[in-house]
Amino acid sequence: MLRVAVLGAGRIGKIHAANVAMNRNAKLVAVADPFGDAASSLADLLSCEASQDPIPLIERDDVDAVVIGTPTDTHVSLMLHAVRLGKAVLCEKPIDLDIAKADAALHEIERLNGRVMLAFNRRFDPSAQQLRQTIDAGTIGEVRQVIITSRDPGLPSREYLKHSGGIFRDMVIHDFDMARWLLGEEPTEVMATASRLVDPALTEVDDFDTVMVQMRTASGRQCHINCCREAVYGYDQRFEIFGSAGMLQNENLRPTTVRRWTRHETEAGEPLLNFFLERYADAYRYELDAFIAAVQAGSPMPVTPFDGRQALRLADCALESALSGRSVRV
């Protein structure tokens, strides 16, 4: 039974804490959050202890592992504190918005043989797993092109955007990780273009809302990513993998499979699932299962800090390319 503390009781911390509480191989010891009674009300719900300060929780003897869902700028220090105490860590992305700090953290984790998993939850979506397994089974031969569509249902608040690190580091970073994972090779060259088509006033926060990225690997495999902060029809998350012997696609998820035919519409489906907490509810659960299983088995982490670092590097390259109008070597 792995004894787990969850740091952060916000949107994402709540998900992780509930998944720990439901996992048969784990015990939720405590949750921490500095803001108001976030920690205590979550602790009440899930029957565990609460704390405003995460540090004592990391240091408790009866805590084997910590899940970090705190603000980005606290990730590195909390992670390293836990690693130094020999605790396993599941850390939300990104490691840090600054790649130099991320690299330094990676170096330290490696030096200490730290057990850290990066929380790229989308890899654990059942459809994503099926895509990867079907590629591995050779069904579509050698991968040639990966096409990723990733559109959010609506623009976040200005406040959120101000501290987000920008669309490439905040939103597309998930797609960069999926691109690497599905391509099976490291991208070596990045070309990006970025526009403000949802809200021209995003100049205020020096950000974009609609982007396209094109990448290639050393062997010539290609990847396209398109992202937009607003899709009025809902959260749109699709992958296409084209290979020498076939093609794979996944479709969006819906709450039910009901379709309507009326005088005004034909074969209309139900709306898509609202946003990532709903769309990737299963993925968050399987991610936690994978973390706990890896810690207990002492096997390699399914997603490593290096994966987090690489996705961040691709985001930086994409931003540079979008600003300079040139392709950037990774």
List the interface residues with its own copies, window 182-201 (CB under 8 A).
189, 191, 193, 195-198
The smaller minimum CB distance to its own copies, of residues 194 and 303, is found at 194
* Cβ 113 vs Cβ 39: under 8 Å: no
* Three-class DSSP category at 304: coil
Nearest CB to its own copies, comparing residues 201 and 245: 245
274 in contact with its own copies (CB under 8 A): no
Phi then psi dihedrals of residue 220, to 5 deg: 100, 5
41 binds its own copies (CB under 8 A): no
Applying CB under 8 A, the site for its own copies has a residue count of: 73
The answer to whether the beta carbons of residues 96 and 73 sit under 8 Å apart is yes
In this structure, the number of other CB atoms found within 10 A of the CB of residue 277 comes to 13
Q: Does 260 bind its own copies (CB under 8 A)?
A: yes
272 binds its own copies (CB under 8 A): yes
The Cα 124–Cα 44 span in angstroms is 29
Choice between 57 and 272, CB closer to its own copies = 272
Q: Which one among 100, 201, 245, 297 touches its own copies, defined by CB under 8 A? A: 245
250 touches its own copies (CB under 8 A): yes
Q: Which two tokens stand for residue 265?
A: 């519409």
Nearest to 31 by CA among 11, 3, 51: 51
CA–CA dist 59, 54 (Å, integer): 9
Alpha-carbon separation of residue 25 from 56, 60, 308 (angstroms): 23, 19, 26
How many alpha carbons fall within 13 Å on the CB side of residue 63?
28
The answer to the question of residue 36 lying near its own copies (CB under 8 A) is: no
Closest to its own copies by CB, 12 or 143: 143
In the list 51, 70, 226, 310, the residue contacting its own copies (rule: CB under 8 A) is 226
The only residue of 246, 274, 275, 300 in contact with its own copies, by rule CB under 8 A: 246
**Interaction with its own copies in 118-147: which residues (CB under 8 A)?**
126-127, 129-131, 134, 139-142, 144-145, 147
Query: Distance between CA 62 and CA 48 in Å, rounded?
Result: 13
Among 157, 159, 263, 297, binds its own copies (CB under 8 A): 263
Is residue 27 part of the contact set for its own copies (CB under 8 A)?
Answer: no
